[in-house]
Amino acid sequence: MKRWSLGGAVALLLTCTSALAQDRIVVLGDSVMTWNALRRGAVADVLARTLDRPVENRAVSGARFSHDTGIARLFGLDIRTQFDFAPTEWVVMTGGANDLRAECGCVSCSETLDGLISADGRTGEVPEFVARVAASGARIVWVLYYDSPEGPPTPFTACRGAFDELDARLDRLARIVPALTLADAGPLIDPATAADYAPDRIHPSVDASRRIGRLVAGIIAASP
């Protein structure tokens, strides 16, 4: 008769936990990550098909990176609450657009930007969260936002300067956090090409979501 010792059980549990971590990919963020889900064309869907791995999409449309009200946190509208810190190999995420639009209208956003991430990329709510995710053993792919389309302004057209500054600060953060990789969606979506956008002219088209998903999948597949 085979007998299990406590040590053997613990070793098995650790092995299973490690295997789960190696298989787990979690997507966090706002509507950029959820868009086209009804057509099985969201970024997470593309990741799952391209990598042939299960992907959990925990992103919530309308979520801010930082939204401290109780009900917002309860429903995942604070991106930081979307992650459970269970063993995970990859966290794919974006965030900040809804913070900038809601809190400062994407103009005169120094205070909001500084709260998210300092100019040197070392302090703020984003670096704090990234550090916690990295400390859990996960690697992170942060998807940078794309520009609004040409033509009549959208609710996010005024955000371009703020997005550029956010990108620059995230780049500084990525230089000091080895677990963080940036995936730039900007070159994948042409502001002069209406077909790159959903009919609302804000979110990605199915093809654009596919490009973003494949970009992220390539980063994950190429990582040792």
Q: CB of 216 within 8 A of CB of 42?
A: no
Q: Looking at residue 224, what is its pLDDT?
A: 83
> What is the average per-residue pLDDT within 177-196?
98
Q: Looking at residue 1, what is its pLDDT?
A: 35
The strands making up 55-57's β-sheet, listed across from edge to edge, are 55-57, 25-28, 90-93, 139-144, 180-184
pLDDT tens track for 69-123:
777 777 789 999 999 999 999 999 999 999 999 999 998 999 999 999 999 999 9
3-class DSSP state of 6: helix
Q: Looking at residue 68, what is its pLDDT?
A: 77
Long-range contacts of 75-83 (CB under 8 A, 24+ apart): 79/28, 79/29, 79/30, 79/129, 80/125, 80/129, 82/28, 82/29, 82/58, 83/26, 83/28, 83/58, 83/133
Q: Looking at residue 41, what is its pLDDT?
A: 97
- Residue among 124, 101, 102, 100 nearest 114 (CA): 124
Q: Is 26 left (phi over 0), alpha (psi -120 to 50) or beta?
A: beta
pLDDT tens track for 123-158:
999 999 999 999 999 999 999 999 999 999 999 999
Query: Tokens standing for 191?
Result: 């502001």
3-class DSSP state of 29: coil
Q: Looking at residue 21, what is its pLDDT?
A: 62
Query: Domain coordinates of the chain in residue numbers?
Result: 24-222
Q: CB of 216 within 8 A of CB of 92?
A: yes
Dihedral of alpha carbons 61, 173, 120, 130, sign = positive
Name which residue leads in pLDDT, 188 or 16: 188
pLDDT tens track for 2-56:
334 344 444 444 444 445 566 899 999 999 999 999 999 999 999 999 999 999 9
> 3.40.190.170, 3.30.160.270, 1.10.3720.10, 3.40.50.1110: which CATH number matches 24-222?
3.40.50.1110
Burial of 11 (0-12, 13-18, 19+ CB in 10 A): exposed
Q: Looking at residue 20, what is its pLDDT?
A: 52
